[in-house]
Amino acid sequence: MSKRRQFSGKEKVAILRRHLLEGELVSDLCDRHNLHPNVFYRWQKEFFSRGEAAFEKNKDKKERKYQREIKTLKAKIAQKDEVIAEIIESNVRLKKKNGESF
């Protein structure tokens, strides 16, 4: 029983590039690298299905912007909670001082 060869992502891209950019035949590449053509086409399909990630640089900027905004809003909420807690505490003290029940 022979072991399957594990190709790194870099190797897979290099093989795909030789076909897509340099025009090498899939059959020649598969013979040279001892690949079944189905494996090659599966790599190609996966490569193109994830390809849009290479063009999503603005998404990272938006994500960082949203994360900063979330952090700012959480800080504001925490500050509001502290103020509300102080007001409630003050109100309770005043009620106790005036003999009111709550």
By residue range, what is the domain housing residue 27? 1-55
Pair 51, 73 in one domain: no
Pair 2, 50 in one domain: yes
Q: How many separate domains does the chain show? A: 2
Pair 70, 31 in one domain: no
Pair 6, 51 in one domain: yes
- Comparing CA positions, the residue from 33, 7, 1 lying closest to residue 19 is 33
Pair 69, 31 in one domain: no
pLDDT tens digits in sequence order for the chain, 102 residues long: 556 789 999 999 999 999 999 999 999 999 999 999 999 999 999 999 988 777 777 777 788 889 999 999 999 999 999 999 999 999 999 999 988 775
Pair 48, 64 in one domain: no
Q: Where are the alpha helices (DSSP H) in the chain?
A: 9-20, 26-33, 37-49, 57-97
